[in-house]
Amino acid sequence: MKNQNIKTGARLRLVLAGGQALGPGKADLLAAIATSGSLTAAAAELGMSYRRAWLLVEELNGMFREPVVRTAKGGRGGGGQTGLTDLGGQVLRLYRLAEEKTEAAIRDEMKALRGFLK
């Protein structure tokens, strides 16, 4: 059975240094945080646990010279504000640009490979 919701194309994983990688999962989490302003909402949107999302944010913040995600504790009702720092926005933009360039570079090969499918 085919899953019609899966995007076809390249899944870009950039290994930056010392085994630290930036891939589609981390990039999607950054994008979801940027849109929702909430780590809880971003995790839910991506179908991952809050704990997994938090661990990825900690990993991302530890990878770069300064944090890419900013968090603030919530007030009385809880629910903190989460968002991307300026560096986080730049990291996400550069990753998405690399994805676009990769897709463009392999467009002909992907078309040929799809032609071999049943």
The residues that bridge with 53 in the sheet, in sequence order, are none
Residue 102 has pLDDT above 90, yes or no: yes
Residue 94 lies in a domain: yes
Instruction: Let me know if residue 6 belongs to a domain.
Output: no
Domain that residue 98 falls in: 20-73+80-115
Residue 15 belongs to a domain: no
User: Is 10 part of a structural domain of the chain?
Assistant: no
The predicted-structure confidence for 76-87, as pLDDT tens digits, reads as follows 555 668 999 999
Is residue 14 domain-resident? Answer: no
Judged on CB neighbours under 10 Å (0-12, 13-18, 19+), 36 is middle
Kindly tell me if the per-residue pLDDT of 1 is higher than 90.
no
For 2-16, 33-47, 79-93, which range has the lowest pLDDT when averaged over its residues? 2-16
Read off the pLDDT of each residue in 13-23 and give the average, rounded to a whole number.
95
Assigned domain for 2 exists: no
**Number of domains forming the structure of the chain:** 1
Q: What is the dihedral of CA 100, 106, 111, 112, to 10 degrees?
A: -170
The whole-angstrom separation of Cα 93 and Cα 79 is: 27
Q: Sorting pLDDT into bands at 50, 70 and 90, what band is 71? A: confident
CATH of the domain at 47: 1.10.10.10
The mean pLDDT of 102-109, rounded to a whole number, is: 96
